[in-house]
Structure formats: structure tokens, C-alpha cells
Amino acid sequence: MRLYIKHISAQERPVLAVDHTAWTRLHSPTLQDRTYEHQSSAIASNKPISVGQGYSTIAWIPQESGSWALPLRHERITSWENPISKAAWQIKQVCKHLPLRPIILLDSEYGNASLLNQTAEIEADFLMRIRSNRCLYSGPPLYTGKGRPRKHGQKFKLNDPSTWWEATETIEVDDSKLGQLRVRMWQNLHFSGSATHAMQLILVERILPKQSHSKSQPLWLVWIGSEMPPMSEIWRQYLRRFAVDHWYRFLKQRLHWTLPQLSTPGQCERWSDLMPVLTWELWLARDLVAQHHLPWQKPLSHLTPGRVAQSIASLLPEIGTPAVSPKLRGKSPGWSVGNKRTTKIRYPVVKKGKTPHKKRTKTVA
């Protein structure tokens, strides 16, 4: 990891993205420590789950646009961990080696009080999406001197505009792809489970013409940190997070990460450790390879990871390999006479426990 961090520029704040994905092993009962993982289903009535192992990734996003995501840590989520605790641990390990305070981008799964409580002491700024059915609270009113001081103030339900109050700042932005956008911000809100962590709530909406029949869902973001980027640019900053999704697709389709049917979790982890190495090699070789595109592909001015992998064959003979020449296999001695064959152990699928949600009792102010 430290070798990767040396390539991060110290001139501008690094932008990191965190996400997790599943390595599906549905028909591998002899693989230990399999868990139930999220897997999108094309059939609406099916549950979006599968059986396998989850992997959490924290990656550096080097460009403002494009599909490059350079992983700094890509590790397995064990059966006694969850994606949020694993992400918090990875963020802590990476941030203590960075030259500048980073901006960390997270999807709505991480937009909760648990992550904020686990990363409160980390020197980093967070920009995360939250679900539209969440409920936030303003700061508490002044203490009246009677009873326990209140932790929460007025309720702010994202899917109920009647609970909204006037935004602190509102601007309109013209984007070449999305058209006209309205960006609003509310200050000093917090989750019910993290009352001491104030954040800025940002709502991004498309302004569609009245005759338009298209629908657009609003984008809810929260910023937790010291210096927030300008309102006109902060929503663009979040869009850089999708480079991790591109990397996961490239990892599974082009680098064949999930192709081998390995026997143990240790073997899976060692094979997975090669994926960041391969990605960084492609990133460093992007200016050295001559672009080779197929007849139906358009030439690109900025090569993507897939296009570099497609063009790197001409560079490999010049680099060479430290591996020795292959040797003849010879004749296998076969199975020893009298040695008993034993079947492999079958391991059950581990079902992680779910923390019950505590209902908040209404108190009379």
C-alpha cells in the first residue's frame, strides 16, 4: 500500500472512494467462511442475494472524469466483519500515510451514524450519498435549565417536503449533459445516532421543462469535514465515485478475478492481492503502449484500463519476465497404493446477525 501511495501527488487533495462487491461462490460447499452477499437479480420477484465472499476496496480516483480507479487496499470481508466496519478500518490505515487530508466518497450504504462514529478521529473529509427515506435532525435548542439537555432539534424528513425549512444556500447550474440543475444546502444537521457530528445536507435536482414526460430522482448528499468545495462543484465531485464500479466490472470481466474456483479463503485472498498490482501496472503503462483498437472501436485520446490491457501485449516482450523457462512435466507417480481418499469438509453458509433497530420514544418537550 505504501508503494502505491508514493504515486499520489502531494500538490492537490487526494480523492478516495470506498465500496464493496461480492465474489459469488454459490456451488462451493467446501469453501470455508462463505456468507450471504448482495447480488442484483434480473428477475423482479427474486431476492437480490447470493452466496460467496465479500471484498471491500478503497481506491484513489486520479482523474476528474474517466474510469480509472487505483485500489490501495482490496481485502476480504470476513464473516465476523461488516462492510461499514471494514471500510472504517481501511480508511484509518490509508489516511495515516497520505500527504494531505483526503476527500472520501461513499455510496448510500455507508451514509449512516455508524460510519461517522467509527471514523470521527480520522483526518479526512467525507462526501456521501444518503437514501431518500432517511430522517435527520437540526441542532438542539438552548438549554432551559430543566431536565436532561436535548440532543436533537427539529426533524428533517427527506421524503416529506413539509418538514423542510428554508435552505441556507440555493444556486442553479447549467450542465451540458443534465441540463439545468438546482442545488440547495442546509447546514448543521445530524443523524439520530451521531448527534455530535454536524454535517451539511445537499439536494441536487434537475429542472425539467413542463412538457417533458421524463422523471428524475433527486440526489441527496451530505458533507462532513472542514472546507466544503463550492456548491457548483461538490455534486460533480461525488460523480467520481462511480470509477470504483467501473473497476469492479473490469476486474471481473477483463482480469477474470472471479473465474478460478479456489479451495480456501487464503488462496482467494492471495489471488485477490494480484488485482491491485495488475491495475497499477496498467496505469503506469498507459503512456508507454501504442494504442491498438479493434476495427469497430474508436481511437481514444485518453486510454481506459480496458484499452491499455488490450494494447499492452507489444510492451511485455521488452519488459521480459523473471520466471524461468518451463520444465518438462515427466510422468506422474499417481496416487500412492494404500493411501485412503477422504472427502473434503463441507462448511455451512454463515448468516451474519443483524443489529435490531431501536425505536425512538417520543418525549414531551
Q: What is the pLDDT of residues 73-85, one digit of tens each?
A: 999 999 999 999 9
At residue 20, the pLDDT reads 96
Q: How many domains does the chain have?
A: 1
Lowest average pLDDT, out of 126-130, 145-149, 158-162, 306-310, goes to 145-149
Average pLDDT of every residue of the chain? 89
Helix, strand or coil, per DSSP, at residue 78: coil
3-state secondary structure 8-35: CCCCCCCEEEEEEEEEECCCCCCCCCCE
Which one-letter DSSP state was computed for residue 159? T
Residue 306, in any domain of the structure:
no
Residue 292, in any domain of the structure:
no
Per-residue confidence band for 349, with pLDDT thresholds at 50, 70 and 90: very high
Per-residue confidence band for 364, with pLDDT thresholds at 50, 70 and 90: very low
Q: 76 is in which domain, residue-wise?
A: 2-252
Strand partners, 20: 56
Residue 316, in any domain of the structure:
no
Helix, strand or coil, per DSSP, at residue 349: coil
At residue 365, the pLDDT reads 43
Which one-letter DSSP state was computed for residue 295? T
Q: 176-219, pLDDT tens digit by residue?
A: 888 889 999 999 999 999 988 999 999 999 988 766 667 788 99
- Residue 347 reports pLDDT greater than 60: yes
Residue 21, in any domain of the structure:
yes
At residue 70, the pLDDT reads 95
Q: What's the CA dihedral at 57, 58, 59, 65 to 10 degrees?
A: 90
More confident residue, 365 or 6: 6
Average pLDDT value for residue range 346-353? 90
Residue 94, in any domain of the structure:
yes
Residue 260, in any domain of the structure:
no
Residue 322, in any domain of the structure:
no
**CATH classification at residue 190:** 3.90.350
In the chain, count H helices and then E strands: 8, 12
- Residue 287 reports pLDDT greater than 50: yes
Please report how many Cα atoms fall inside a 13 Å half-sphere around the Cα of residue 184, on the Cβ side. 15
Residue 269, in any domain of the structure:
no
At residue 33, the pLDDT reads 94
At residue 356, the pLDDT reads 65
Instruction: Tell me which amino acid residue 364 is.
Output: V
